[in-house]
Structure 1
Amino acid sequence: MRRALVVEDQNLMRLALMTELRAGLRDCCVAGAQTLPLARQLLEQDQFDLVITDPGLPGFDPTSRHDRLHVVETIIEAAPEAAHIVVTGSDDEDEALACRLLGARSYVCKTGLAPGELRNVLERIDRGETPIRLSELDAAKPDVRFPTLTPREDEILAMMMRRKAGTKRREVFETMSSKTGINPASAEKYYKQARAKLLKLGRLPKGL
């Protein structure tokens, strides 16, 4: 059984990341830590295969490059055999490269991180890649979830709502296919099912 640790002080984000890991890694036991001391304690007590860290932890200045890299370096040194992913809401390319030099396998911006994207990052790491995902100007779009939809239907609608101007639906179906392992026709089926449900409720968002 693989073990993963999520080091994130924001409760909702920590739980969301832990849920994403459980969904993407079925055989994985996931732990969470809110502070650097707690993370170090867990890393001393157990061996983890994957560690996800937000460098803006309590007790450190989230705007200080020195403090942020200190957090990342400390955690990587405490678990040198693990695969490390840095997640942040205030990303920049220079920091991403610095984290890579410290040993991080990936650098991911939390802004606009859609369901399934973390799983895609993990798959790329397994292939030996070191993916960097920075924020985009159009990432700050509303993120809506509807309780009547299945997780797959929710995911394809979220991707459709966040698509860039000019992106065709077919391209979104293909993107979902590559991220989730289903074929584009199945992705289209989920989209049509979700759309039909929202039309019935009279809650179809603009652009769908």
Structure 2
Amino acid sequence: MSNPKALIVDDEADILELLTITCTRMGIATRGAGTLADALGLIDRESFDLCITDMRLPDGDGIDLVRTICDRFPKLPVAIITAHGNVDSAVAAMKAGAFDFVSKPLDLEILRNLINAALRLQQAEQPPADTAGTSGLLGNSPQMQEIRALISKLARNQAPVFISGESGTGKELAARLIHDQGPRSANTFVPVNCGAIPGELVESELFGHRKGSFTGAVSDKKGLFQTAHGGTLFLDEIVDLPLSMQVKLLRAIQQKSVRPVGAQQETAVDVRIISASHRDLKEAVETGAFRHDLFYRINVIDLHLPPLRERPGDIDILARHILKRIAKSSDEDCKQLSDEALEALASYPFEGNVRELENILERATALADQKLLQPDDLRLKQFNTSPERRPADTDLVSEPNAPTAGISLINQPLETHLGEIEKQAILDALNSTHWNRTAAAKLLGMTPRSLRYRLSKLGLD
């Protein structure tokens, strides 16, 4: 971009001057306005690459300007300047379409990061909404077309996004697409499963620590916030964060800075926060498991991913894509689904969603001899919705419809056969608990950490 130009709207002369000087030193031309009317007049007459406006103006407020620009110039990023600690205003502005916000007193490093991100957004080439899912969230259903279009819009601002949906629906994939299509795509996407970090280590993992700050801290360590600087931090299963950590996370998001464990000063960080959970966030707030103020801060925009059973028409395209990927990774001919097999999949409830479909097809391609997969090759179990029932070993080896039925013990090493039984027992536990790994681990009589290890070992993670 050559000679970018910014519109700065603020009725305080010192703030207007500070913003002008900052932009000028960054090689950005500026035009200033002290009122909403002056700003509207300028955007009618001139072209801009960025707008920074104060929330309160003599003849209106910044949100009015945000709405006008989003309506008339949807590709022009608008950032809001809010009073210190005024989270409500920041959230309202971002819901109205603001690209990002910065709080008074202005931190110049945060301000420069914001400006650079806005200019990168102008340079980023956005993929068409109808093709954005060709390598991501597949499906031609109205739900998926709407989701891909929304993802393209979300990629153009910095508003915190909360992705809801059952396990296996593709929440991390959706977060990656938002990152990849936005101005932060050249920087790091850092995913973290909040439920997988021991409570006593969460602060150190997220914010980092200084050498000697606690037993075992033998050197300085960057936290995940610092690792994601300039990029996106994806907080999966955020509901699992301890309440004590939720307070510190809220401060980090609001102040755009973190304090490593053992440090005396805070460090500015430029990250976009995307969070997700398979649990009901509002219910967690009502029960006291999740802070209301943090809920309000991360849930600026809610992106809900529907379960696979609510879009059975997408199973065909998903299955074909998965089979092609399996064939490519194994360097074998791609297997196909018969019409009967596809019909069987379309009527299957898929409590594990796309992840369960992947597991079914991986198992079928590994065990089937012929290229055309039939319903029997899928080994779809009779679905059991009772979470209390743990599959007995006899269920796994003797029922006619059990996934391991028909496997020759003579032609398979014992270790391989036992591995199949273990894999199916874990899948049954996950299915019966709606893919809640903590509940599945309890059902199987093991710790969540042991279950994660076995999932990784069996290729189910």
TM-score range, shorter chain: 0.5 to 0.7
Structure 1 position 14 matched with structure 2 position 110: no
In structure 2, the partner of 1:49 is 49
TM normalised by structure 2 equals: 0.27
Structure 2 CA distance for partners of 1:115 and 1:72, relative to 1, 3 Å: same
Conserved 8 A contact 1:35-1:57: yes
Pick the aligned partner of 1:130 from 130, 138, 158. Answer: 158
Size of the aligned set, in residue pairs, is: 140
Secondary structure in structure 1 of the residue aligned to 2:57: coil
- Report 1:142-157 matches (<5 A): none
Structure 1 position 69 matched with structure 2 position 97: no
Cα distance, 1:43 vs. partner?
A: 0.4
- Aligned equivalents of 1:10, 1:78: Cα separation in 2: 26
For 1:109, give the aligned amino acid. S
Secondary structure in structure 2 of the residue aligned to 1:48: coil
After superposing the two structures, state which structure 1 stretch, 49-58 or 123-132, moved more: 123-132
- Aligned equivalents of 2:99, 2:92: Cα separation in 1: 11
Pick the aligned partner of 1:84 from 73, 78, 85. Answer: 78
Cα distance, 1:68 vs. partner?
A: 5.1
- Aligned equivalents of 1:90, 1:71: Cα separation in 2: 20
Structure 2 CA distance for partners of 1:90 and 1:117, relative to 1, 3 Å: closer
In structure 2, the partner of 1:114 is 107
Pick the aligned partner of 1:167 from 252, 263, 284. Answer: 263
- Aligned equivalents of 1:55, 1:6: Cα separation in 2: 12
Conserved 8 A contact 1:7-1:14: yes
- Report 1:33-44 matches (<5 A): 33-44=33-44
Greater C-alpha Rg: 2
Cα distance, 1:12 vs. partner?
A: 0.6
- Report 1:180-199 matches (<5 A): none
After superposing the two structures, state which structure 1 stretch, 117-126 or 34-43, moved more: 117-126
Which segments of 5 or more consecutive residues in structure 1 lack a partner in the other structure?
61-66, 140-162, 180-208
Conserved 8 A contact 2:62-2:80: no
Deviations 1:33-92 (A, max 9, x none): 0011111111011111100011200023xxxxxx55334323443533211101122553
Cα distance, 1:118 vs. partner?
A: 0.9
Structure 2 CA distance for partners of 1:11 and 1:89, relative to 1, 3 Å: same
Cα distance, 1:103 vs. partner?
A: 1.7
Deviations 1:113-145 (A, max 9, x none): 223221112334437561686459xx9xxxxxx
Which segments of 5 or more consecutive residues in structure 2 lack a partner in the other structure?
122-154, 161-252, 271-461
For 1:115, give the aligned amino acid. L
- Aligned equivalents of 2:54, 2:48: Cα separation in 1: 17
Structure 2 CA distance for partners of 1:91 and 1:57, relative to 1, 3 Å: farther
Secondary structure in structure 1 of the residue aligned to 2:263: coil
Conserved 8 A contact 2:66-2:97: no
For 2:158, give the aligned amino acid. T
Q: Percent identity?
A: 28
Cα distance, 1:94 vs. partner?
A: 3.3
Structure 2 CA distance for partners of 1:124 and 1:2, relative to 1, 3 Å: closer
Deviations 1:11-43 (A, max 9, x none): 11011011112223x2x2111000111111110
For 1:167, give the aligned amino acid. A
For 1:120, give the aligned amino acid. N
TM normalised by structure 1 equals: 0.55
Cα distance, 1:5 vs. partner?
A: 0.4
